[in-house]
Structure formats: C-alpha cells, structure tokens
A = this chain, B = another copy of it.
C-alpha cells in the first residue's frame, strides 16, 4: 500500500538523485507511462521502477493503472511544500539581514548627528 504520509524529508531524498530529478523534469512536460519515462535511461527496468517508487512515496508523483501500463503524473503540491519550507527559512534570514543593515544605517546616522 502506498504511503499516505509525505513528509518533506522524502521530497528532498527523492530530489537528491539525478535520475529522479530528470523524471520530475520529464513529467512537468506531461504525463507518461513507466516505459516511456524509462526509455532515455540506460538502466534496467527494475532499477528505474524503484526510482518511481521513491518519487511516489514522496508524493511527488501519482500514478494510475491503464490496461497493462501505468501512467504517472506530477503532483505539484509536494514540490510546493518543499519550496515553502525553504522560502520560510530563507526569508527569515534575509529579513534579519535587512534589519541588521538598517541598524548599521541608523548607527551611521546617529554618529553623524554627534
């Protein structure tokens, strides 16, 4: 059964492999079956399917069975979650930097007022 919880950790793990990032990139162009996705890679199919499993487990992709094929599509929500995590910390740091620079400006002004 597919893991219904998709902690952000799984997203970063999934995206830390070049094959899996390439799959995400490919799927951003549109849905595709397993063998269509696998074609560009010089890799045995079971290895490739394992990568898809990691991506699906992270919630980055979803798949539906269609005849004897399996069609995969991107799930933007998981990407968004990871983006948000990074943006939150980045912005907090950037705003601290801004306040620090403002403080420096302020100190400079105070001094020129002496």
Contact = CB atoms under 8 A, between A and B. Distances in A.
Interface stretch (A35-43, A85-93, A101-109): A85-93
Interface in A1-40: 8-9, 12-13, 15-16, 18, 21, 24-25, 27-30
A55 interface: no
Interface residues of A, number: 29
What number of copies of this chain does the assembly contain? 2
A85 B78 CA distance: 14
A16 B94 CA distance: 23
A83 B90 contact: yes
A82 interface: yes
Contacts of A83: 83, 86-87, 90
Q: What are the 10 A-B residue pairs with the smallest beta carbon separation, nearest first? A: A28-B89, A12-B16, A79-B90, A13-B16, A12-B15, A76-B90, A28-B92, A79-B86, A74-B93, A28-B93
